[in-house]
Amino acid sequence: MSDPVVVIGAGVVGVMTARALRLRGAEVVVVDALPGAAEMCSRGNAGMLAVGHAKAWAEPAAIPALLRALVGREPSVKVTRPFDPALWRWGVEFLRHCTPAANARNTSAEQRLSRFSRDRLAAAEAEMGLPVDTWHEGALYLFQDAAQFARYRAKLPEGGEITALSREELVAREPSLAAMGERLAGGLLSRIDSVGDCALFTRRTAAWLGGAGVAMRFETRVTGFAQSLGRITAVETDRGPIACSAVVLATGVETADLTRPLGFVPQIYPVKGYSGTWRITDPAGVPRLPFVDETELLAVANYGDRLRVTAIAEFAGRDRSLPPARTALLDAYVRRRFGAAVDLETPEFWTGLRPTTPAGPPYLGRVRTHSNLWINAGHGQLGWTMSLGAGEILAQAMAGEPPALRDISSRARWLDAI
C-alpha cells in the first residue's frame, strides 16, 4: 500500500480537500493541532455562501478606506498593529492589486470559484447523507443610505440573478425588517447566495470521512517535514512522523510557519473578525434570509434556532482577544433591531482570523520546489463559500485531471498556480 496523502488543517478548506481526495480513492490522513474539525477560523463565521457578493477587497476604493482606517476613521476596518512588518509586506502587495484591471481579474477568479463551489453544496450533502442544513433561497444586501443604494442599483449585473427591492418590497418579504425603521432605503436580493453553518457542515463531513476510511489525527501539531530529492517524504509532528506520498497545506493563517523553513512565505495576513450568536426565541421576529447591512457593514444569518451577526476587518496580527468594545457593537446592533426575538442574556461571542491574500483569491496549486507539496490556503472572507470548489479543483490537479476552472489562484513565484 502506498503512503497516504497528508492534509494539514481540519478547517473547512482541509476537510473539503480531504473529501475530494477520498472520493477519488486516495488514502488520506487529516492532521490538526486542535481537538476537532472547524475549531479555528471555520468555527464562528457568518455562514454565507456569498456568491453574488464575491469580490476582491483590493480595489481602487480600498486605498482611501485603508488610509481612513489608519487614522481610526473607518468604523468597520481597524488597524491596531500599524507597525507589524508582516502587515507592511502584505500591504505593499495589496496596493499593487488595487488597480481596476487587477481587481477585475481577482474578482472574476473569486466569483467563478464561489459559483462552482456553491453548485456542489446541495449535492455534497445528499451524497454524504447529511441532514440538509444549508438554505439556498438567496441573501439580501440592505442599505440605510439612499445614495449608496442608488449607486449599487446602477451597477446591477444583467441576468436577473440580483434584483433591487424597495423598502416596502423588503418588508413585505421579511416583515421583521420593519424594525430597521425608516432608515432602510432599499436592498438587493441575490438569488444565487446560500447560507449554512460552516462549522456544522465541516464537522459532519469530517465524521463522514472518518467512516469512509480517512484517518483524522487531532491534537497533533505538524512541526516540519522530512525531504529527499525535492519531495516531502514524511510530515514531522509532535506525536511522531507520518510517511506521506503527498502533502496539502490547508493551514490558514499559520501556513507561513510551516513553509518558511522550506524557503517560501505565502503572503497570508490574519484579518480579524468578530461574531456573536444569539438563541432565537421568536422566529417571526428575525429575517429568514441572511443579509448584509451594507451601510453598517455587518452580516446577519438565521440558522433556524440561532441568529449570528458578524462584523469588522481588523489588522491586529495574530491577536485573538475579544475586546468588549468590539462585542458591544454586535450586541447593540442586535438589541436595536431584533432584541425582542432573541435571548439577550446568553450571546456567544467569538473572533476568527480570516486568512487573507493581498490579491484576494487563495493560493491553490503545487509548490515549485517540491514535486508533491500542494497548497490550498488564503481564502480570506470567502473560505466557506469557496471551500468545496477549491478542494475539488486541487484534488483534480493532484490526480492529473484537467482542473474544471483555471486562473483562480493568487499568483506567486514559488507556486504553479491553478
- Tell which residue, 417, 416, 405, 418, has the closest CA to residue 371: 416
- Closer of 149 and 384 to ligand FAD (Cβ): 384
7 pairs with which residues across the strands? 30, 248
Contact between 50 and ligand FAD (CB under 6 A)? yes
Among 7, 18, 20, 41, binds ligand FAD (CB under 6 A): 41
Number of H helices, E strands in the chain: 10, 22
Q: Which three cell numbers stand for residue 386?
A: 469557496
For residues 128 and 305, the answer to whether their CB atoms sit within 8 Å is no
Using CB under 6 A, which of 5, 6, 26, 48 touches ligand FAD? 48
Q: Which of residues 323-352 bind ligand FAD (CB under 6 A)?
A: 352
Q: Which of 379, 389, 391, 405 binds ligand FAD (CB under 6 A)?
A: 379
- Each residue 278-307 as x (binds ligand FAD by CB under 6 A) or -, in order, gives ---------------------x--------
**Cα 94 to Cα 96: distance, rounded to the nearest angstrom:** 5
Candidates 13, 214, 300, 334: give the one binding ligand FAD (CB under 6 A). 13
Binding mask 383-402 for ligand FAD (x = CB under 6 A): xxx-----------------
- Residue 107 within binding range of ligand FAD, rule CB under 6 A: no
Question: Site for ligand FAD (CB under 6 A): which residue of 3, 24, 27, 34?
Answer: 34
**CB burial readout 100-135, b (16+ within 10 A) else e:** eebbebbbbbbbbbbbbbbebbeebbeebebeeebb
The residue count for binding ligand FAD (CB under 6 A) is 43
221 forms part of the interface with ligand FAD (CB under 6 A): yes
Q: Strands 222-228 and 186-190: what pairing?
A: unpaired
Q: H or E element: which one contains 314?
A: strand 306-315
CA distances from 406 to 267, 286, 402 (A): 21, 40, 9
Q: Is 270 a residue that touches ligand FAD (CB under 6 A)?
A: no
- Residue 227 CA to residue 229 CA, distance in Å, equals 7
Q: Does 232 bind ligand FAD (CB under 6 A)?
A: no
Binding site for ligand FAD (CB under 6 A): 8-14, 31-34, 39-42, 45-48, 50, 221-222, 250-252, 254, 258, 273-275, 299, 310, 352, 354-355, 377, 379-385
